[in-house]
Structure 1
Amino acid sequence: MLHIIKSSPYATHALSHCLAYATPDSVIVLINDAVLGALANSPLGAALFTDNRSVYVLEEDVMARGVQAHLHPQVKQIDMQGLVQLTEDHVTQMTW
């Protein structure tokens, strides 16, 4: 299942709710302010980067916030084309 999170983990509980429902093989994409959840010092980092879960951030949102040097080492950056490909690859999706 593809989970797309849009809001900052410091403003809402969307990411923590997603993590409660995500399975180990879920794919999680952080966009907009949610990319702050993928920082190396994020309090949710331990829960986010567990199991075999793939975690992606939208590259343009990371750059817009100037946090590219502070990302968790396990996160993968994708561009808009990569996001479109993930949505095509996953029939089941949820946006938080």
Structure 2
Amino acid sequence: MLHIVKSSPYRDQALTLCLNYIDQDSVIVLISDAVLAGVDNSEWATRLFTGNHVVYLLSDDVHARGLGDKLHPSAVMVEMNKLVSLSVEHVTQMTW
């Protein structure tokens, strides 16, 4: 299942709900303000990058927020075309 999270984890519970719902085959893509969760040494990065799921961050949103050099080492940045490919690959999707 593809999970796209778009809101800041500091603003609402979308990321928390997403993390409670995922399984080991899930793919998470953080877009918009959700990319804040990828900052290294944050409680959110610890929760995101310790599981067996794949986590991507949309690079345009990371750069727009000046976070390029502040991300957790396991964070994988992707371009919009990869997000489109993931959307095609995953029939089941949830946007948080």
TM-score (norm 2): 0.96
SS where residue 69 of structure 1 aligns?
Answer: coil
Q: What do residues 38-80 of structure 1 show as CA deviations (whole Å, max 9, x unaligned)? A: 1112212222112321000000000000001011111110001
Provide the rounded CA distance (Å) in 2 between the counterparts of 1:4 and 1:57. 10
* Residue correspondence of structure 1 range 33-72 to structure 2 within 5 A: 33-72=33-72
Give the Cα–Cα distance (whole angstroms) in 2 for the partners of residues 52 and 28 of structure 1. 11
Corresponding position of 1:28: 28
Unaligned 5+ runs, structure 1: none
Percent identity, please. Answer: 55
Distance 1:9 1:54 in 2: 18
Distance 1:3 1:52 in 2: 14
User: Runs ≥4 in structure 1, deviation > 2 angstroms?
Assistant: none
- Over aligned residue pairs, what C-alpha RMSD do you find? 0.8
Distance between the aligned counterparts of 1:43 and 1:52, measured in 2?
A: 17
Partner of 1:18: 18
Task: State the distance in 1 between where 2:51 and 2:9 align.
Answer: 20
- Does the CA contact (< 8 Å) of 1:16 and 1:44 recur in 2? no
Unmatched 5+ stretches in structure 2: none
